[in-house]
A and B are shown apart, each in its own frame.
Chain A
């Protein structure tokens, strides 16, 4: 009788690691076979990739102990049977990958900008950061500081943007594009839903036009046609022209993403805000947008990641971003044939940034989920 009253424990084989294995990997015959097959594939692949990328790879010296200065000295070119990846090409060209052709004397400015970018991102990443408010002020003025720091002016020697390259260009394009497109996209989305016909028509036209045109076309448009619209004597910097194109492109997509979020807000929210005497802007800023943006976080991050990768297209108009530098290196006779290493490295750098963005989006979703219940009751 006593045993009856004790809480019964679940059967041993359904809990813990063994239970998990049984349920997920060895549930039945086919399931077990697939599991074994996948384990076999991983067993074949993982040692090979580790060996190629790390254990047999050259980082600075080849297997003879010589410092590598061109592709012929790579172990895998000296002894095709044994050599792994030849990372020396990244080591030798590292400066270009990170800074492009930025003058070496001035490169500390780029480093300072990189550090400041990290500081500017901190308050966005950590909600509990001490003195977060002051960090946020810094985040707002960072773009201005970065502009003078990188470009010159205010006592800094000017460094023409055609000397910029590599990761620097990728980050400048990606960050500026994403940061500017967000507010513009919000305005466009609100505009498209506006009751004022002229505003709504203009926003719709803009969005549809920009969205209907490939980014490459917009880049050419920025390069070739934008100067025609400017008054004579004013020369627009090449990178700025590309930035304008990238920002316009991204704003149109951002606008549609945010419009999707806006449509999900029940009309009762507008009515409640209006009945409390809120003006159009207050209602949108305090009630509607915070909810709409929350709903739209996954697609917002999705388009942002898309843009970050699409910045590689600027190679078409002669700007050398990270991938551009990689391709330039490949064209150098000294490093001919090292495409595995270079593309692997470029992919890895892009992956680190985009994966970071994707994790950030998950974190935001979790953080903002508190008490949200979008239903009527």
Chain B
């Protein structure tokens, strides 16, 4: 199984001070697989995916992404970050740059792409997320849903093999969640390897190949969506699902 894994976490441990936030986490993700991670807040799900592109450092165990092991080696970290795109809860667009500049910045400076080519690429990405008409606006002039779609386009412009989503719809007004999820479904159907931390169970049911449930820093249950939603094994999962599905 680990032969074809594009992401492999083995016995990963991490502490924030004395707080043991990740406890022996093991996760294998295959190419083109779509994983949805859920769990109560504070369960370590965000921390886990942030370890995958080294926004957080793990203290024990090994993380290998596309054959590159994440260690203190800065070059490895840079290479992994070029492979892995990330979308954040708070969008984190660059407010001093226009939408188009937000997208072209990394291709131009990190990939050394000529400016004209980068701009063409940016427009293509904006078509994919369905807001090409916003190219010359600034992030502050867009709605939350539009900002998040720009953030997705910005990540995609670096042509990553893997996309990480850290609660991409949690900061959005209800009527904007769908437009972002639609883009993510398109992306999933296009064959992108994705790890999505979300509480959008509808999205999980349509898109996920596998559900991962975390609690108190541990992976409690890993199952296909069908099994996860209809016949979960652990009591903790049942409790969580009953709370989030019948609130």
Contact = CB atoms under 8 A, between A and B. Distances in A.
Interface stretch (A29-37, A178-186, A277-285, A322-330): A277-285
Interface stretch (B4-12, B103-111, B190-198): B103-111
A228 interface: no
Interface string A277-302: 11100100011001100100000000
A291 B110 contact: no
Nearest to B50: A271
B92 A291 contact: no
A371 B140 contact: yes
A276 B81 contact: yes
A279 B78 CA distance: 8
A368 to B, nearest CB: 8
A272 B53 CA distance: 11
A377 B171 contact: yes
B109 A377 contact: no
B120 to A, nearest CB: 19
Nearest to B93: A272
B71 interface: no
Interface string A249-288: 0000000000000000010110111111111001000110
Interface in B141-165: 141, 144, 147, 151, 154-155, 158
A271 B55 contact: yes
Interface string A349-373: 0000000000000000000101111
**Residue with the highest number of chain B CB atoms closer than 10 Å, among A278, A290, A374:** A278
B82 interface: yes
Contacts of B92: 266, 268-269, 271-272
A271 B88 contact: yes
B137 A371 contact: yes
Contacts of A275: 53, 55, 81, 84-86, 155
Nearest to A288: B94
B76 to A, nearest CB: 12
A124 to B, nearest CB: 18
B67 interface: no
A262 to B, nearest CB: 14
B95 A374 contact: yes
A368 B96 CA distance: 8
Interface string B172-203: 00000000000000000000000000000000
A376 interface: yes
Contacts, number: 84
Interface string B62-92: 0000000000000000100110111010111
Nearest to B109: A282
A372 B84 contact: no
B7 to A, nearest CB: 15
B66 to A, nearest CB: 14
B168 interface: no
Given A272-B92, A291-B95, A372 B55 contact: no
A276 B158 contact: yes
Most buried by B among A269, A373, A377: A377
Interface in B10-63: 53-55
A293 B84 CA distance: 30
A359 to B, nearest CB: 23
Which residue among B96, B141, B154 has the maximum number of chain A CB atoms within 10 Å of its CB? B96
B88 A272 contact: yes
Contacts of A368: 96
B78 A277 contact: yes
A276 B155 contact: yes
Given A271-B92, A272-B92, A373-B139, A277 B147 contact: no
A321 B94 CA distance: 45
Given A276-B158, A376-B171, A371 B84 contact: no
Contact of B140 (A277, A282, A373): A373
A374 B90 CA distance: 12
Q: Which of B85, B92, B109 has the most CB of A within 10 A?
A: B92
B95 A282 contact: no
B138 interface: yes
A277 B96 contact: no
Contact of B94 (A272, A274, A282, A370): A272
Which of A274, A276, A374 neighbours the largest number of chain B CB atoms within 10 Å of its CB? A276
B81 A372 contact: no
B101 to A, nearest CB: 10
Given A277-B110, A278-B106, A377-B171, A371 B141 contact: yes
A276 B96 contact: no
Contacts of B86: 271-272, 275
Given A278-B110, A372-B138, 6 more contacts: A271-B55, A272-B92, A274-B55, A275-B85, A277-B110, A377-B144
25 contacts: A271-B86, A271-B88, A272-B93, A274-B53, A274-B54, A275-B55, A276-B110, A276-B154, A276-B158, A278-B106, A286-B105, A287-B105, A290-B96, A291-B94, A291-B96, A371-B138, A371-B140, A372-B140, A373-B95, A374-B95, A376-B90, A377-B90, A377-B91, A377-B144, A377-B147
* 7 tightest A-B CB contacts, nearest first: A371-B138, A373-B140, A272-B92, A268-B92, A276-B106, A275-B86, A277-B81
